[in-house]
Structure 1
Amino acid sequence: MDASLPRNTPALMGRIDKLYSEVIKHYEALVGLAAIDNQTDRNTTALAQYQMQVETSALIRTIEDAQTLIRQLQEMWLFGQLDTLGDGEAKQRSDESAKALAGMLQRLVEQGTAAPTRAANDVVMS
């Protein structure tokens, strides 16, 4: 996984927007080159073919970059390294649940240490 990949929402959204605009740019260029202008000159046709190959290669490369980004996002999400939520509601609920659980465990420990003491006193008194 790429360690230089930004892990915050604005940077990731910026990268997605950049890839999106590049895909649109290359696709529009291909559509523009595919238009027939009634020019049957071999040089013009060869130039258009070359430009179409260049734009197609650039479009494929941009889509491969998008697939790489998707894969990296999936890995980051899977391994818990994707920090796009920050201190959201889910984290707050998780923290509250953890505090409640810690409180219950503390009460159980206190009750557990108090109960054997009472039982030992009952045995000694009998």
Structure 2
Amino acid sequence: MDPQQPTARSLQTRINNDITQLLQRFENIMAAATVENTSHTATAIETYQLDVESTALIRAAEDILALTRTMKETWLFGKLDTLGEDERDVKRREKLEQDVAVVKEAIEKGSVLKLEK
């Protein structure tokens, strides 16, 4: 695999990190918005905090959009193995292919009974 191509595992990690960031920023905004304080200093601090958190929330959303673009490009143009067959899947697929070959051979030899209406 090309070293520039992301793996399924790295994409999954990035998805989890981006979602965590998005949720954390939203929670921070909600926590700051519910504080009831009438002092001008506290209000200014809360306003600044909301500004910072909303900017970070927008950045987290942009990261998710960039991730979806990367995933689309990788699936369309890359060789991302999202199926990741393990040994059991390989054996199952091979057995299925053998069964198909046996049925095909039986049909070709005419040893399968034909039902007539």
The TM-score range, normalised by the shorter chain, is: 0.5 to 0.7
Q: CA RMSD in A?
A: 2.3
Alignment of 1:32 onto 2:43: no
Instruction: Identify which range, 79-88 or 24-33, moves more after superposition.
Output: 79-88
Q: 1:45 aligns with which of 43, 53, 56?
A: 43
Give the structure-1-normalised TM-score.
Answer: 0.62
Structure 2 stretches lacking a partner, 5+ long:
102-117
Q: How far 1:78 sits from its partner (Å)? A: 1.1
Kindly state the Cα deviation for residue 4 of structure 1 after the two structures are TM-superposed. Answer: 4.2
The aligned residue for residue 80 of structure 2 is 82
How many residue pairs are counted as aligned between the two chains?
A: 90
| 1:80 Cα deviation after fit | 3.6
Instruction: Name the amino acid aligned to 1:25.
Output: Q
**Aligned-pair identity (%):** 37
Task: Quote how far apart the aligned CAs of 1:40 are.
Answer: 1.1
5+ residue gaps, structure 1, are: 101-126
How far apart in 2 are the matches of 1:77 and 1:44?
Answer: 49
Following superposition, the deviation at residue 11 of structure 1 comes to 1.7
Q: CA deviation at 1:5?
A: 5.3
User: For residues 80 and 26 of structure 1, do their structure 2 counterparts lie closer, same or farther at Cα, with a shift above 3 Å needed?
Assistant: same
Superposition misfits of 4+ residues, deviation over 6 angstroms: none
- 1:72 matched to 2:76: no
Opposite residue 17 of structure 1, the aligned amino acid is N
Provide Cα deviations, 1:83-106, integer angstroms capped at 9, x if missing partner.
Answer: 2223476xx68xx6xxx9xxxxxx
